[in-house]
Amino acid sequence: MTTASHPNDPLLTAETWIDESRAVAIATVIETWGSAPRPAGSHLVVDADGNFEGSVSGGCVEGAVVTAALDVIAGGTAQMLEFGVTDETAWRLGLSCGGRIRVYVERLD
């Protein structure tokens, strides 16, 4: 199968990448408090080369989640991440309106 991307469905992208024998991790927003850019259930999939599809937040939060996903791919141990900021630092850290999110990152085999 050739490399395919499903920008509207990161779960389909993950399935395609696994079919291509890529190592893949998935990050899932499991909880939000206050204002958050993406709702619970949002996904971001990452392969071992750092390619990614989907979104769990934006800004530097997204970069931190991609980095964690690469660690999970390499080590196999799932991670629970939590990001939270006050309104005055929200824009700088990528949470547009403050709030907090919890993201679970696991390897898909």
Record the pTM. Answer: 0.83
Domain spans of the chain?
10-108
Q: Tokens 């750092």 sit at which residue? A: 50
Q: How many angstroms separate the CA atoms of 29 and 15, rounded?
A: 19
pLDDT tens over the chain, length 109 residues: 334 565 679 999 999 999 999 999 999 999 998 777 888 999 999 999 999 999 998 777 889 999 999 999 999 899 999 987 655 555 555 555 667 899 999 999 8
Task: Note the pLDDT tens digit of each residue in 19-50.
Answer: 999 999 999 999 998 777 888 999 999 999 99
| Distances from the Cα of 21 to the Cα of 1, 14, 30, 88, angstroms | 10, 11, 27, 44
